[in-house]
Amino acid sequence: MPTPLDVENQRFVFGDRWTVAFKYDDSEFYRKEAIKLQGEVDGLAQSAKAVDVVGLHQHTGLLLLEVKDFRGHRIANKGRLGDELATEVAAKARDTVAALVGAARKPVSEFPSETLMAALGKNKPLSIILWLEDDTFRNTENAKVSLGVLNQKLKTKLSWLNARTLALSSSVPMNRLDELTVTNLPGAGQPNP
């Protein structure tokens, strides 16, 4: 049975071959356990970060999905579309991978932590996806170029993890994720009141 998850004004529907799909950053484990990593290092505040969604597909493996909807907030996010956003997503992926390892070492019942830990094994497919909506994606070609540049930055920052990275958007109709459909929810693309 498909699993719908609403994230950032969009609905992500994971098809039947997705054996796991859940909003990791809303999980009790993240909110009560992983978040305990807080404090200061060299005077800078530090805390555990989390991707929005963790999924596991029967064939394409583990998915870490971060969703950003910058539509209606063009000025506030103008400078974030490059290195800053890639670094943010890479840090969230790093911390989520570490937390999944930790979850497998504890009695966690809200998601199959041991199964997800096994999916992180050597030679297992891992995809880290940034799903980005932005007002500057006015035509498909410009969106492809922007997403390609962003994906290259993300790939560089996550090269240590040996993962496939993709920067995707509904502005570019080709979805490269098996059995995942994305639709806008009412009010998508509008500034929050």
pTM of the model: 0.90
Quickly state the pLDDT bin for 191 (edges 50, 70, 90).
low
**Sole residue written with tokens 């530090």:** 46
pLDDT on residue 158: 96
CB 94 within 8 A of CB 157: no
Which pLDDT score, from 0 to 100, does residue 136 have?
A: 78
> Is 75's pLDDT higher than 90?
no
Q: Which of 67, 41, 36, 27 is nearest to 177 (CA)?
A: 67
Decide if pLDDT at 79 tops 80: no
Given a cut of 90, whether residue 10 has pLDDT beyond it is: yes
Q: What is the mean pLDDT of residues 125-137?
A: 90
pLDDT band at 134 (very low <50, low <70, confident <90, very high): confident
